[in-house]
Amino acid sequence: MPLLDIRNLTVSLENEYRTINAIDKMSLTLRNGSIHGLVGESGSGKTLVAKAIMGLLDGEWSVKADRLFWQDQDLLRMSDEQRQAIIHRDIAMIFQEPSRSLDPTAPIIEQIEEVIPSSELPNSFWGRRQARHKHAEGLLKKVGIKSYQRCLSSYPHELSEGLCQKVMIAMAIARNPKLLIADEPTDAMESTTKVQIMRLLQKLNESKDMSILLISHDLNAIANWSDDISILYAGQSVESGTKKAILKRPLHPYTQILFQNIKKFSEPGAHKSPLFALEGTTPPVQHLPIGCRLGPRCPKAQKQCVKTPKAKKLHGHIYHCHFPVNMERKGNE
């Protein structure tokens, strides 16, 4: 049983003339205990997917899906209160630019103590106060902050982005979530800090059996740290499967071009090799092409691509393309 199973998620916005499907029938299956990378260029809709899962989109957005299951419970067939209670109990999210997510007017100790659930504390007033403080210290130790006492008495602006992100992770794990959604958790950080944060997430995944949905446009981070990968383009599912399958044999032209660059960089003399890139940019949500949204940029596009390709499965590997690549090896495997 998957931890999270999403089928044909559509997130749309309506104006007086038409409905815009910013996310168009996107699917994602997240295995329990895995790190699942969700990758796509800026503007592909990754954060929108995360917010739809968390129920954080405001009223102007409409969210529909054929299936939205959390541990075999149908989130679409329960009241808003029941759904929010499950999400609050089991799922946490951290964002890019962590210093902006923290309250600039309160010291870290207050912000961490506020998210510690009362079930973790004793009943007596004085006992609770002390235990809350100890618990906050313990959380900062768990995320590897050595100077935790100084950190607790600091305000967010006195900490680096890396430390702020560790504080955000400490707050996120206070409730022992089963799933952590990490939205561009290392964006704009230095490479050593990036590695520290990613190692911390991996450690939490292994030691606490916490699944992670790692959202990023950083292909190297996705390729290095994920077990499974889903690729999104302009709100449409492109391809998904295990990291091994995706890297070894991408079936979608977009995936092939994306991950060719990673292979190039790992080869000798890589710095002299040209980058593989698609011409053009991701279309804005007001000007999405009909059918396969990659069409105007795709080197393999044909007439048929004005129809949205359906999901097809090959060796447990799902792709959405009328003219997939690397199919000639099918008979040899």
Residue numbers 302-331 binding ligand SF4 by CB under 6 A: 305, 309, 321-323
Instruction: Kindly indicate which of the ranges 172-180, 190-198, 256-264, 288-296 contains the residues binding ligand SF4, using the contact rule CB under 6 A.
Output: 288-296
| Residue 236 C-beta: closest distance to ligand SF4, Å | 9
Instruction: Kindly indicate which of the ranges 103-111, 132-140, 212-220, 300-308 contains the residues binding ligand SF4, using the contact rule CB under 6 A.
Output: 300-308
Number of residues that bind ligand SF4 (CB under 6 A): 13
- Residue type, position 243, single letter: K
Give the nearer residue to ligand SF4 in terms of CB position, either 163 or 292.
Answer: 292
Quote the distance between the C-alpha of residue 170 and its chain's center.
18
Instruction: Enter the DSSP assignment of 177.
Output: -
Compose the 225-264 pattern: x for residues touching ligand SF4 by CB under 6 A, - for all others: ----------------------------xx----------
Closest by alpha carbon to 238, among 51, 64, 39, 69? 39
Give the nearer residue to ligand SF4 in terms of CB position, either 200 or 292.
Answer: 292
d(CA 39, CA 80): 29
Show the CA angle centred on residue 185, arms to residues 75 and 30, nearest 5°: 35
Query: In terms of C-beta distances under 8 Å and separation of at least 24 residues, what long-range contacts does 71-78 make, across chains too?
Result: 71/1, 71/3, 71/178, 72/1
d(CA 252, CA 135): 47
Q: Hey, what are 72's tokens?
A: 């075999």
Give the nearer residue to ligand SF4 in terms of CB position, either 21 or 196.
Answer: 21
From 39, 91, 298, 318, residue interacting with ligand SF4 (rule: CB under 6 A): 298
From 177, 292, 317, 318, residue interacting with ligand SF4 (rule: CB under 6 A): 292
d(CA 43, CA 25): 16
- 3-class DSSP state for residue 329? helix
| Residue 282 C-beta: closest distance to ligand SF4, Å | 14
40 near ligand SF4, judged by CB under 6 A: no
Site residues (vs ligand SF4, CB under 6 A): 253-254, 292, 294-295, 298, 300-301, 305, 309, 321-323
